[in-house]
Copies of this chain bind each other. A is one copy, B any other.
Amino acid sequence: MVTSRAGEIAQSEIRRNNLSRMLSELHLRGPLTRSELAAILRLNRSTVASLIAELAARGLVWERSRDKPAPQPTPGRPSPVVEICREGPAALALELSTDWIRAAVIGLGAFVAVSVSKDLSLASSTPEQAVDEAHDLVGPILARLDHGPRVAAIGVSAPGAIRAEDGYIYHAPNLGWRDVPLGSMIGSRFADLGVPVFVGNDAHLAASAEHMRGSGRGTADFICLWGEGGIGAGIVVGGKSLSGAAGYAGEVGHMAVDPEGAECRCGSHGCWETEVGEEALLRRSGRDPKGGSAAVADLLEAAGKGEGGALAAMAESGRWLGIGIAGLVNVFNPSRVALGGLYARIDPYAHDALVNELDCRAMPAPRAMVELTTASLGADALLLGAAELALAPILRDPATVPLPGDAAAISSRRRARPPSYGWTLTPAEARR
Protein backbone atom coordinates (compact mmCIF):
# COMPACT_ATOMS: atom_id res chain seq x y z
CA MET A 1 0.00 0.00 0.00
CA VAL A 2 1.14 3.50 -0.75
CA THR A 3 0.94 5.63 2.37
CA SER A 4 -0.83 8.95 2.56
CA ARG A 5 2.32 11.08 2.37
CA ALA A 6 3.72 9.19 -0.63
CA GLY A 7 0.23 9.30 -2.11
CA GLU A 8 0.14 13.08 -1.83
CA ILE A 9 3.53 13.43 -3.45
CA ALA A 10 2.47 11.13 -6.22
CA GLN A 11 -0.79 13.01 -6.80
CA SER A 12 1.02 16.32 -7.12
CA GLU A 13 3.46 14.76 -9.58
CA ILE A 14 0.62 13.36 -11.67
CA ARG A 15 -1.09 16.74 -11.56
CA ARG A 16 2.06 18.52 -12.74
CA ASN A 17 2.59 15.97 -15.47
CA ASN A 18 -1.01 16.33 -16.67
CA LEU A 19 -0.80 20.14 -16.69
CA SER A 20 2.38 19.83 -18.74
CA ARG A 21 0.85 17.36 -21.19
CA MET A 22 -2.26 19.50 -21.71
CA LEU A 23 -0.34 22.73 -22.23
CA SER A 24 2.08 20.97 -24.60
CA GLU A 25 -0.75 19.59 -26.73
CA LEU A 26 -2.36 23.01 -27.04
CA HIS A 27 1.06 24.52 -27.75
CA LEU A 28 1.75 22.10 -30.60
CA ARG A 29 -1.69 21.29 -32.01
CA GLY A 30 -3.55 24.55 -31.56
CA PRO A 31 -7.12 24.89 -30.24
CA LEU A 32 -8.79 21.69 -28.99
CA THR A 33 -12.17 20.94 -27.47
CA ARG A 34 -12.51 19.45 -24.00
CA SER A 35 -13.52 16.14 -25.58
CA GLU A 36 -10.47 16.15 -27.81
CA LEU A 37 -8.24 16.92 -24.84
CA ALA A 38 -9.85 14.13 -22.83
CA ALA A 39 -9.27 11.68 -25.68
CA ILE A 40 -5.68 12.76 -26.41
CA LEU A 41 -4.62 12.85 -22.76
CA ARG A 42 -6.72 9.80 -21.80
CA LEU A 43 -8.21 11.61 -18.82
CA ASN A 44 -11.82 11.88 -17.70
CA ARG A 45 -13.77 15.07 -18.29
CA SER A 46 -13.73 16.28 -14.71
CA THR A 47 -9.94 16.01 -14.57
CA VAL A 48 -9.72 17.86 -17.88
CA ALA A 49 -11.98 20.61 -16.55
CA SER A 50 -9.85 20.98 -13.44
CA LEU A 51 -6.62 21.17 -15.43
CA ILE A 52 -8.08 23.78 -17.81
CA ALA A 53 -9.22 25.83 -14.82
CA GLU A 54 -5.71 25.87 -13.40
CA LEU A 55 -4.03 26.73 -16.72
CA ALA A 56 -6.59 29.49 -17.26
CA ALA A 57 -6.04 30.89 -13.77
CA ARG A 58 -2.34 31.12 -14.55
CA GLY A 59 -3.10 33.06 -17.74
CA LEU A 60 -1.86 30.28 -20.04
CA VAL A 61 -5.06 29.20 -21.82
CA TRP A 62 -8.61 30.38 -22.26
CA GLU A 63 -11.85 28.92 -23.55
CA ARG A 64 -14.11 30.33 -26.21
CA SER A 65 -17.01 29.05 -28.25
CA ARG A 66 -16.19 27.91 -31.75
CA ASP A 67 -16.33 30.66 -34.38
CA LYS A 68 -18.10 28.34 -36.79
CA PRO A 69 -20.16 25.20 -36.32
CA ALA A 70 -18.06 22.05 -36.46
CA PRO A 71 -18.11 20.49 -39.95
CA GLN A 72 -19.65 17.28 -38.63
CA PRO A 73 -21.98 18.23 -35.78
CA THR A 74 -21.88 15.82 -32.89
CA PRO A 75 -24.83 15.14 -30.57
CA GLY A 76 -25.15 17.17 -27.40
CA ARG A 77 -24.04 20.69 -26.58
CA PRO A 78 -21.35 22.27 -28.77
CA SER A 79 -17.99 21.95 -27.03
CA PRO A 80 -16.08 25.23 -26.63
CA VAL A 81 -12.44 25.18 -27.68
CA VAL A 82 -9.49 25.64 -25.36
CA GLU A 83 -6.54 27.53 -26.73
CA ILE A 84 -3.29 29.17 -25.76
CA CYS A 85 -3.76 32.64 -24.31
CA ARG A 86 -1.78 35.10 -26.42
CA GLU A 87 -1.41 37.49 -23.51
CA GLY A 88 0.44 34.79 -21.55
CA PRO A 89 4.17 34.35 -21.08
CA ALA A 90 6.38 34.66 -24.15
CA ALA A 91 10.00 34.22 -25.15
CA LEU A 92 12.30 36.94 -26.35
CA ALA A 93 14.02 35.00 -29.15
CA LEU A 94 17.36 36.26 -30.46
CA GLU A 95 19.17 34.93 -33.50
CA LEU A 96 22.86 35.72 -33.93
CA SER A 97 23.85 34.66 -37.46
CA THR A 98 26.95 35.37 -39.52
CA ASP A 99 25.32 38.18 -41.48
CA TRP A 100 22.42 39.39 -39.36
CA ILE A 101 20.74 39.63 -35.98
CA ARG A 102 17.05 38.90 -35.63
CA ALA A 103 14.77 39.16 -32.64
CA ALA A 104 11.14 38.29 -31.97
CA VAL A 105 8.72 37.94 -29.12
CA ILE A 106 7.14 34.52 -29.49
CA GLY A 107 4.48 33.14 -27.20
CA LEU A 108 3.22 29.65 -26.54
CA GLY A 109 1.66 28.13 -29.63
CA ALA A 110 4.52 29.67 -31.67
CA PHE A 111 2.57 32.91 -31.74
CA VAL A 112 4.93 35.57 -33.11
CA ALA A 113 3.85 38.85 -31.52
CA VAL A 114 6.51 40.98 -33.19
CA SER A 115 9.84 40.51 -34.93
CA VAL A 116 12.69 42.67 -36.18
CA SER A 117 16.06 42.14 -37.87
CA LYS A 118 19.26 43.97 -38.76
CA ASP A 119 21.95 43.05 -41.27
CA LEU A 120 25.48 43.20 -39.93
CA SER A 121 28.58 41.04 -40.05
CA LEU A 122 29.01 39.39 -36.68
CA ALA A 123 32.33 37.95 -37.82
CA SER A 124 33.71 41.49 -37.74
CA SER A 125 32.07 42.27 -34.39
CA THR A 126 33.24 41.43 -30.91
CA PRO A 127 30.80 39.45 -28.76
CA GLU A 128 30.26 42.59 -26.66
CA GLN A 129 29.32 44.59 -29.76
CA ALA A 130 26.96 41.83 -30.90
CA VAL A 131 25.18 41.78 -27.55
CA ASP A 132 24.91 45.58 -27.60
CA GLU A 133 23.47 45.46 -31.12
CA ALA A 134 20.93 42.88 -30.02
CA HIS A 135 19.97 45.01 -27.04
CA ASP A 136 19.52 48.12 -29.21
CA LEU A 137 17.47 46.15 -31.72
CA VAL A 138 15.19 44.75 -29.05
CA GLY A 139 14.53 48.02 -27.24
CA PRO A 140 11.69 49.19 -29.52
CA ILE A 141 10.10 45.73 -29.47
CA LEU A 142 10.00 45.68 -25.72
CA ALA A 143 8.54 49.18 -25.65
CA ARG A 144 5.67 48.00 -27.85
CA LEU A 145 5.26 45.05 -25.51
CA ASP A 146 3.86 47.34 -22.83
CA HIS A 147 0.72 46.35 -24.69
CA GLY A 148 1.60 42.71 -25.41
CA PRO A 149 2.57 39.43 -23.86
CA ARG A 150 5.01 39.21 -20.98
CA VAL A 151 8.60 38.14 -21.68
CA ALA A 152 9.25 35.20 -19.35
CA ALA A 153 12.60 34.02 -20.72
CA ILE A 154 15.21 34.78 -23.37
CA GLY A 155 16.18 32.16 -25.95
CA VAL A 156 19.26 32.70 -28.09
CA SER A 157 20.35 30.95 -31.27
CA ALA A 158 24.08 31.16 -32.04
CA PRO A 159 26.49 29.15 -34.17
CA GLY A 160 29.26 27.01 -32.73
CA ALA A 161 29.96 24.62 -29.90
CA ILE A 162 27.80 25.84 -27.02
CA ARG A 163 27.67 24.40 -23.53
CA ALA A 164 24.00 23.75 -22.81
CA GLU A 165 24.33 24.37 -19.08
CA ASP A 166 25.17 28.07 -19.24
CA GLY A 167 25.34 29.11 -22.89
CA TYR A 168 29.11 29.34 -22.93
CA ILE A 169 30.46 29.37 -26.50
CA TYR A 170 33.54 27.22 -26.61
CA HIS A 171 34.27 27.99 -30.25
CA ALA A 172 32.22 29.50 -33.07
CA PRO A 173 34.47 29.16 -36.14
CA ASN A 174 31.99 31.03 -38.40
CA LEU A 175 32.21 34.09 -36.17
CA GLY A 176 35.83 33.63 -35.12
CA TRP A 177 34.69 33.64 -31.48
CA ARG A 178 36.33 31.56 -28.76
CA ASP A 179 35.49 31.20 -25.08
CA VAL A 180 32.57 33.61 -25.00
CA PRO A 181 30.26 33.42 -21.95
CA LEU A 182 27.34 34.47 -24.14
CA GLY A 183 24.64 33.31 -21.74
CA SER A 184 25.88 35.42 -18.84
CA MET A 185 26.69 38.38 -21.14
CA ILE A 186 23.11 38.45 -22.37
CA GLY A 187 21.83 37.93 -18.86
CA SER A 188 23.73 41.04 -17.72
CA ARG A 189 22.85 43.21 -20.71
CA PHE A 190 19.14 42.34 -20.40
CA ALA A 191 19.17 42.41 -16.59
CA ASP A 192 16.23 44.80 -16.57
CA LEU A 193 13.99 41.98 -17.78
CA GLY A 194 15.02 39.78 -14.85
CA VAL A 195 14.34 36.58 -16.75
CA PRO A 196 16.42 33.46 -17.38
CA VAL A 197 18.54 33.13 -20.55
CA PHE A 198 18.96 29.95 -22.61
CA VAL A 199 21.45 29.67 -25.47
CA GLY A 200 21.43 26.92 -28.09
CA ASN A 201 23.32 25.96 -31.21
CA ASP A 202 21.56 27.30 -34.30
CA ALA A 203 21.32 23.99 -36.14
CA HIS A 204 20.00 22.24 -33.02
CA LEU A 205 17.32 24.88 -32.55
CA ALA A 206 16.29 24.90 -36.20
CA ALA A 207 15.99 21.12 -36.14
CA SER A 208 14.02 21.23 -32.93
CA ALA A 209 11.52 23.65 -34.49
CA GLU A 210 11.35 21.57 -37.67
CA HIS A 211 10.75 18.49 -35.55
CA MET A 212 7.93 20.08 -33.59
CA ARG A 213 6.21 22.11 -36.27
CA GLY A 214 7.79 21.51 -39.66
CA SER A 215 9.38 18.82 -41.78
CA GLY A 216 10.07 16.48 -38.86
CA ARG A 217 6.59 16.53 -37.41
CA GLY A 218 5.30 13.11 -36.40
CA THR A 219 8.72 11.44 -36.50
CA ALA A 220 10.72 10.17 -33.54
CA ASP A 221 14.01 9.70 -35.43
CA PHE A 222 14.81 12.74 -37.51
CA ILE A 223 17.87 14.54 -38.83
CA CYS A 224 17.77 18.13 -40.03
CA LEU A 225 20.90 19.29 -41.83
CA TRP A 226 21.33 23.00 -41.78
CA GLY A 227 23.71 24.60 -44.24
CA GLU A 228 24.51 28.28 -43.76
CA GLY A 229 28.22 28.99 -44.09
CA GLY A 230 29.20 25.74 -42.42
CA ILE A 231 27.03 22.67 -41.96
CA GLY A 232 25.26 21.85 -38.75
CA ALA A 233 22.72 19.26 -37.78
CA GLY A 234 19.97 18.82 -35.29
CA ILE A 235 19.35 15.17 -34.61
CA VAL A 236 16.29 13.76 -32.90
CA VAL A 237 16.68 10.30 -31.39
CA GLY A 238 13.62 8.53 -30.01
CA GLY A 239 11.72 11.83 -29.93
CA LYS A 240 14.43 13.74 -28.08
CA SER A 241 17.07 16.14 -29.32
CA LEU A 242 20.56 14.68 -29.34
CA SER A 243 22.63 17.07 -27.27
CA GLY A 244 25.39 14.80 -26.00
CA ALA A 245 27.05 14.97 -22.62
CA ALA A 246 27.39 18.78 -22.64
CA GLY A 247 25.38 20.05 -25.62
CA TYR A 248 28.14 19.82 -28.25
CA ALA A 249 26.59 16.99 -30.28
CA GLY A 250 25.56 17.30 -33.92
CA GLU A 251 28.84 18.54 -35.43
CA VAL A 252 28.35 16.33 -38.47
CA GLY A 253 30.38 18.76 -40.58
CA HIS A 254 33.48 17.49 -38.83
CA MET A 255 33.27 13.82 -39.66
CA ALA A 256 36.24 13.01 -41.90
CA VAL A 257 35.17 12.05 -45.42
CA ASP A 258 38.70 12.18 -46.83
CA PRO A 259 41.45 12.27 -44.20
CA GLU A 260 43.97 13.68 -46.71
CA GLY A 261 41.48 16.28 -47.96
CA ALA A 262 41.36 20.06 -47.78
CA GLU A 263 42.16 21.96 -44.61
CA CYS A 264 39.07 22.77 -42.55
CA ARG A 265 38.37 25.86 -40.47
CA CYS A 266 38.36 23.55 -37.43
CA GLY A 267 42.06 22.87 -37.95
CA SER A 268 41.61 19.30 -39.21
CA HIS A 269 41.66 17.98 -42.79
CA GLY A 270 39.02 16.47 -45.04
CA CYS A 271 36.02 17.20 -42.84
CA TRP A 272 32.64 16.85 -44.56
CA GLU A 273 32.22 20.62 -44.32
CA THR A 274 35.17 21.16 -46.66
CA GLU A 275 33.15 19.40 -49.37
CA VAL A 276 29.58 20.50 -48.67
CA GLY A 277 30.02 23.96 -47.14
CA GLU A 278 29.04 27.17 -48.88
CA GLU A 279 32.67 27.95 -49.65
CA ALA A 280 33.20 24.65 -51.49
CA LEU A 281 30.05 25.25 -53.52
CA LEU A 282 31.08 28.76 -54.52
CA ARG A 283 34.65 27.70 -55.33
CA ARG A 284 33.40 24.89 -57.59
CA SER A 285 31.20 27.32 -59.47
CA GLY A 286 34.14 29.67 -60.07
CA ARG A 287 32.80 32.28 -57.63
CA ASP A 288 34.53 33.91 -54.66
CA PRO A 289 34.40 31.31 -51.85
CA LYS A 290 33.94 34.17 -49.38
CA GLY A 291 31.16 35.75 -51.47
CA GLY A 292 28.50 34.92 -48.89
CA SER A 293 24.78 35.05 -49.44
CA ALA A 294 25.05 37.45 -52.40
CA ALA A 295 27.28 35.01 -54.30
CA VAL A 296 24.95 32.12 -53.44
CA ALA A 297 21.99 34.10 -54.76
CA ASP A 298 23.92 34.74 -57.97
CA LEU A 299 24.76 31.03 -58.26
CA LEU A 300 21.15 30.02 -57.74
CA GLU A 301 20.07 32.45 -60.44
CA ALA A 302 22.66 31.02 -62.84
CA ALA A 303 21.51 27.48 -62.08
CA GLY A 304 17.93 28.56 -62.68
CA LYS A 305 18.99 29.70 -66.15
CA GLY A 306 20.60 26.31 -66.78
CA GLU A 307 24.21 27.53 -66.76
CA GLY A 308 26.47 24.47 -66.97
CA GLY A 309 29.13 25.51 -64.47
CA ALA A 310 26.55 26.36 -61.84
CA LEU A 311 24.69 23.08 -62.34
CA ALA A 312 27.91 21.04 -62.18
CA ALA A 313 28.92 22.76 -58.92
CA MET A 314 25.51 22.02 -57.40
CA ALA A 315 25.67 18.38 -58.50
CA GLU A 316 29.12 17.94 -56.98
CA SER A 317 27.92 19.39 -53.68
CA GLY A 318 24.92 17.07 -53.95
CA ARG A 319 27.20 14.10 -54.43
CA TRP A 320 29.14 14.93 -51.27
CA LEU A 321 25.90 15.60 -49.40
CA GLY A 322 24.78 12.09 -50.37
CA ILE A 323 28.05 10.54 -49.21
CA GLY A 324 27.72 12.04 -45.75
CA ILE A 325 23.96 11.54 -45.44
CA ALA A 326 24.42 7.85 -46.27
CA GLY A 327 26.77 7.57 -43.29
CA LEU A 328 24.26 9.32 -41.03
CA VAL A 329 21.48 7.02 -42.26
CA ASN A 330 23.66 4.00 -41.42
CA VAL A 331 24.50 5.34 -37.98
CA PHE A 332 21.08 6.74 -36.96
CA ASN A 333 18.46 4.82 -38.96
CA PRO A 334 16.23 7.93 -39.09
CA SER A 335 12.76 7.86 -40.59
CA ARG A 336 13.24 11.29 -42.15
CA VAL A 337 16.13 13.56 -43.16
CA ALA A 338 15.42 17.21 -43.95
CA LEU A 339 17.67 19.64 -45.77
CA GLY A 340 17.52 23.18 -44.41
CA GLY A 341 19.05 26.57 -45.15
CA LEU A 342 21.44 26.50 -48.12
CA TYR A 343 20.70 22.82 -48.75
CA ALA A 344 16.99 23.42 -49.17
CA ARG A 345 17.79 26.11 -51.75
CA ILE A 346 20.20 24.02 -53.81
CA ASP A 347 18.13 20.84 -53.50
CA PRO A 348 16.36 21.22 -56.88
CA TYR A 349 19.77 21.11 -58.60
CA ALA A 350 21.65 18.79 -56.24
CA HIS A 351 18.91 16.26 -55.57
CA ASP A 352 19.67 13.59 -58.17
CA ALA A 353 23.38 13.41 -57.38
CA LEU A 354 22.57 13.27 -53.68
CA VAL A 355 20.05 10.44 -54.04
CA ASN A 356 22.41 8.50 -56.29
CA GLU A 357 25.12 8.42 -53.60
CA LEU A 358 22.58 7.69 -50.89
CA ASP A 359 21.30 4.69 -52.85
CA CYS A 360 24.83 3.35 -53.38
CA ARG A 361 26.12 3.90 -49.89
CA ALA A 362 23.32 3.55 -47.34
CA MET A 363 22.58 0.04 -46.09
CA PRO A 364 19.45 -1.27 -47.82
CA ALA A 365 17.30 -1.66 -44.68
CA PRO A 366 17.63 1.88 -43.30
CA ARG A 367 17.75 3.31 -46.84
CA ALA A 368 14.41 1.73 -47.71
CA MET A 369 12.63 3.46 -44.86
CA VAL A 370 14.20 6.91 -44.80
CA GLU A 371 12.34 9.80 -46.36
CA LEU A 372 14.33 12.72 -47.76
CA THR A 373 12.71 16.14 -47.65
CA THR A 374 13.43 19.84 -47.28
CA ALA A 375 12.90 21.93 -44.16
CA SER A 376 9.52 23.65 -44.18
CA LEU A 377 9.79 26.53 -41.74
CA GLY A 378 12.35 28.47 -43.74
CA ALA A 379 14.52 31.02 -41.99
CA ASP A 380 12.02 31.27 -39.10
CA ALA A 381 13.13 27.90 -37.77
CA LEU A 382 16.00 29.44 -35.79
CA LEU A 383 13.85 31.98 -33.92
CA LEU A 384 11.08 29.45 -33.36
CA GLY A 385 13.62 26.99 -32.00
CA ALA A 386 15.13 29.61 -29.72
CA ALA A 387 11.63 30.36 -28.39
CA GLU A 388 10.97 26.66 -27.77
CA LEU A 389 14.20 26.45 -25.79
CA ALA A 390 13.17 29.40 -23.63
CA LEU A 391 9.58 28.24 -23.12
CA ALA A 392 10.44 24.60 -22.37
CA PRO A 393 10.56 25.09 -18.57
CA ILE A 394 7.02 26.52 -18.60
CA LEU A 395 5.79 23.64 -20.76
CA ARG A 396 7.45 21.16 -18.43
CA ASP A 397 5.89 22.67 -15.33
CA PRO A 398 3.11 25.18 -16.03
CA ALA A 399 2.58 25.66 -12.30
CA THR A 400 5.81 27.68 -12.19
CA VAL A 401 3.85 30.51 -13.85
CA PRO A 402 2.54 32.47 -10.86
CA LEU A 403 -1.15 32.95 -10.22
CA PRO A 404 -2.19 36.63 -10.41
CA GLY A 405 -1.60 38.24 -7.05
CA ASP A 406 0.78 35.54 -5.90
CA ALA A 407 3.28 38.14 -4.73
CA ALA A 408 5.67 35.70 -3.10
CA ALA A 409 5.99 33.60 -6.24
CA ILE A 410 6.34 36.70 -8.37
CA SER A 411 9.04 38.30 -6.28
CA SER A 412 10.90 35.01 -6.01
CA ARG A 413 11.15 35.02 -9.79
CA ARG A 414 12.76 38.49 -9.63
CA ARG A 415 10.28 40.10 -11.99
CA ALA A 416 11.08 43.70 -12.84
CA ARG A 417 7.53 44.57 -13.86
CA PRO A 418 4.04 43.98 -12.48
CA PRO A 419 2.02 40.98 -13.68
CA SER A 420 0.80 41.43 -17.20
CA TYR A 421 -2.29 39.32 -17.62
CA GLY A 422 -5.01 40.79 -19.76
CA TRP A 423 -2.89 43.01 -21.97
CA THR A 424 -4.13 43.54 -25.47
CA LEU A 425 -1.99 42.66 -28.41
CA THR A 426 -0.51 44.82 -31.11
CA PRO A 427 -1.07 43.57 -34.65
CA ALA A 428 0.81 40.32 -35.10
CA GLU A 429 0.79 37.12 -37.00
CA ALA A 430 0.34 33.56 -35.83
CA ARG A 431 2.35 30.76 -37.34
CA ARG A 432 1.60 27.18 -36.76
Contact = CB atoms under 8 A, between A and B. Distances in A.
B248 A333 contact: yes
Interface of A: 1-3, 5-7, 10-11, 14-15, 43-44, 46-47, 50, 161, 163, 170-171, 219-221, 233, 235, 237-238, 240, 242-252, 254-259, 266-268, 271, 323-324, 326-328, 330-335, 360-366, 369-370
Contact of A254 (B10, B242, B250, B327): B327
A102 B235 CA distance: 37
Contact of A44 (B5, B238, B244, B324): B5
A6 B47 contact: yes
Contacts of A243: 238, 333
B1 A50 contact: yes
Contacts of A46: 1, 3
A170 B365 CA distance: 6
A161 B3 contact: no
A251 B330 contact: yes
Contact of A256 (B6, B14, B235, B327): B327
A14 B10 contact: yes
Contacts of A259: 257-258, 323
Nearest to A266: B363
A207 B323 CA distance: 27
Given A5-B44, A257-B257, A221 B248 contact: no
Contact of A2 (B11, B161, B246): B11
Contact of A237 (B10, B242, B271, B327): B242
A398 to B, nearest CB: 16
Contacts of A14: 2, 10
Contacts of A328: 255
B363 A252 contact: no
Contacts of A249: 331-333, 366
Contact of A361 (B219, B238, B268, B331): B268
A202 to B, nearest CB: 16
A357 to B, nearest CB: 8
Contacts of A364: 161, 170-171
Nearest to A327: B255
5 contacts: A2-B50, A163-B365, A248-B365, A251-B331, A254-B327
A235 B242 CA distance: 12
A333 B361 CA distance: 25
A122 to B, nearest CB: 20
A161 B366 contact: yes
Contacts of A43: 6
Given A170-B365, A257-B257, 17 more contacts: A2-B11, A161-B364, A161-B366, A171-B364, A237-B240, A243-B333, A246-B333, A246-B365, A247-B333, A250-B331, A254-B362, A255-B331, A256-B327, A257-B259, A258-B258, A267-B360, A271-B361
A334 B245 contact: yes
A171 B363 contact: yes
Nearest to A242: B237
Given A330-B255, A365-B248, A44 B323 contact: no
A49 to B, nearest CB: 10
A249 B46 CA distance: 43
A190 to B, nearest CB: 25
Contacts of A251: 330-331, 363, 366
A363 B50 contact: no
A363 B248 contact: yes
A44 B3 contact: yes
Contacts of A247: 333
Interface centre among A2, A170, A247, A331 (most CB of B within 10 A): A331
Nearest to A264: B361
Nearest to A253: B330
B5 A248 contact: no
